[in-house]
Chain A
Amino acid sequence: MNDQLPENILELRGLKTHYPIRGGVFRRTVDSIKAVDGVDLSVRRGEVLGLVGESGCGKSTLGKSILRLALSTAGEIVFSSENGEVDLRQLTRAELFPYRRRLQIIFQDPHSSLNPAFTIFTAFDDVLKRYGYGDKEARRAVLGDLFEAVNMPRHYIDRYPHEFSGGQRQRIGIARALAVDPELIVCDEPVSALDASIQAQVLKLLQNLRQERNLTYIFITHDLSVTEYFCDRIAVMYLGKIVEIAKSEEIFGTTLHPYTQALISAIPVADLDRKSKRIVLEGDVPSPVSPPSGCAFHPRCRFATDICRQQTPKLQPSKDYPKDHLVACHRVEELGVLGHA
């Protein structure tokens, strides 16, 4: 790894993304969906950071906000490179352009992210032209190389999207992200739509590419078994906030937040020797339009007390545990891993 470059490639400070809800005759903003509600997060160069949580917790919005595909409403997105630190939120479109190629995204559904009317080469050609990849022959060669990098034959670049299977389409999605030689890739549920046997192929491919090209991944998923295998660090989100973040082994070994404990215990494990007691949470995730007061998890938490209902806990290290294990829970010191079944 390059020594001069700062350790953190990306730093989020108090990032908020609120989607407006419009109503009334004049379509005025009457309320907002607090999809991402104050996230502080640093991403280290070369790591795989897992972002997990249930649907509606804001993990995809967070990923899109980093790339400015979703308009964040407050906070900072600091990207560091050899040119120093830049807050991506403050840049104009033109200023942002050189950073676009450093940050890329892979989407969940490879079916809807490819235009069915174009061959793969036609669809990719605009991007390659825009970033100055030379004449048509050169661009074809570049795309051919990319296809080989994702284990597909070169001549497939003239095929249409419907000619590919789900796993192949996802690999095209990866090739698209790689086309501009990025440093950080946000992988938004890249394997969730794939069958188990194909899932492993794509995971292996992502792993190899990371080593070959020194990539950093933000890996968004709801599948904790995959994160444990794939990620260096894991951040758990609940209702727009990060409730716990630590190294992968830490999250699964000494789970601190009651929500993470419940989440992990709810996963069916394909191992007959590991039948653990499920912690079944009552009810559903509350609406992000009006999240509960204090700790957003308190209505479903077994350990909630008055302070949980009134004050929002800070994401901080807790004594007795490594200082890079951050957790947002008022009662973590007294409870520890007690709730972990």
Chain B
Amino acid sequence: MGTAQSEADVVVSVEGLRTYFYNDNRCNKAVDDVSFEIRSGKTLCVVGESGCGKSVTASSIMQLLPRLARIEEGSITFNAQSGALRIDKLDRNGRAMRNIRGGEIAMIFQDPMKSLNPVYTVGFQIAENLKYHTRLASRAIRELTIEMLGKMGIPLPEKRVDQYPHEFSGGMRQRAMIAMAMACNPRLLIADEPTTALDVTIQAQIFETMLKLKAEHGTAIMLITHDMGVVAELADEVAVMYMGKIVEGGTVEEVLRTPRHPYTKALLASIPVLGRGRNQQIEPIRGSTPDPYDRPVGCQFAPRCDYAGEKCAVMPDEEYVSFTHRVRCWKHQEVAPDE
């Protein structure tokens, strides 16, 4: 995105990434030619429906892919403190990768109960991360752990630090996960649907925390979500994914105000928006997402698309309609004509 802009503050750049899954002699192109950059202090929201490859993209950056998956092509360049690193070239269990993972790149998962170990205290699990990635003495680690929990708005952190995950509520567990992720001041935070399992009032608390961290530490955030509301509130940049490809990308203003891809446009038209009252029209997208093992030829959205034509039997290339706004559609002129 906008390669001519200053390269200095790019934290991670993904170039032509292809991650495939192999299963029963079949191949699922879960991520198929995806490129993006995230700058420090910015939030990139990746939106899409289940199965569109948004989580696989995140796992590729973290090198947390399951054994059946492989990065086939493309590059993931992470600008670490020590210089640029090609993550895709690193051994997934090697020392270099383990140094980055949890240290300079941290991740928050959707379900905090599954990602916290029930037999260790919350404090122990946060401290473990600090023990591995810093050279602090154990007393200092404990103090820092308590401080992190306090910063996340957990009441009585000095008492909570010695409690087990089951003694925490859902919102507190997620905040403990964020404390763990933020403990080493990561340059990149990947949040995979961090609030999907939580109530809206707790979601608001988590978002406040994340915004504060972004402002204070200049952390680059990659936020994976399926909620357009979250995108409108938090994103600086948006990437819309469909069946393994980024179909549209750009700043939040560009994508939400003048969607160029029929899928983005249809997605925005299919959700009720608060404040628009009872008379708003919502338009469902017809059909459903195709089976990833039995994909349509050409543009993946064509069978559900109102604009589809003969041209759409071939997958279009990415086209820049402005300096930052890119779209993968033959008919984008029809979808949103140039002003």
Contact = CB atoms under 8 A, between A and B. Distances in A.
Interface in A252-272: 252, 262-272
A225 B274 contact: yes
Nearest to A165: B288
A325 B268 CA distance: 32
A271 B273 CA distance: 7
B171 interface: yes
A201 interface: yes
A278 B204 contact: yes
Contacts of A222: 199-200
Nearest to B199: A54
B275 interface: yes
Interface in B11-35: none
A229 interface: yes
Interface string B222-236: 000011111111100
B315 interface: no
A271 B272 CA distance: 11
A230 interface: yes
Interface in B185-238: 199-205, 207-208, 226-234
* Interface magnitude class on chain B: 35 or more
A289 to B, nearest CB: 14
A316 interface: no
B272 A266 contact: no
Contacts of B201: 54, 262-263, 266, 280-281
Interface in B35-60: 49-50
A204 interface: yes
A195 B52 CA distance: 11
Interface in B129-184: 155, 169-172
Contacts of B278: 228-229, 248-249
B75 to A, nearest CB: 31
Contact of A200 (B257, B270, B276): B270
Contact of A197 (B169, B203, B257, B284): B284
B8 to A, nearest CB: 29
Given A54-B201, A229-B272, A249-B277, A270 B172 contact: no
B113 interface: no
A225 B155 CA distance: 31
A229 B171 contact: no
B232 A54 contact: no
B280 interface: yes
B228 A196 contact: yes
B200 A204 contact: no
A113 interface: no
Interface string A272-296: 1011001011011100000000000
A200 B283 contact: yes
B288 A198 contact: yes
A272 to B, nearest CB: 6
Contacts of A142: none
B274 A267 contact: yes
Interface string B273-317: 111111010111110110000000000000000000000000000
Contacts of B172: 284
16 contacts: A54-B199, A55-B199, A195-B50, A196-B271, A200-B270, A203-B272, A229-B276, A230-B272, A249-B278, A265-B204, A267-B274, A269-B274, A271-B275, A272-B232, A272-B256, A284-B202
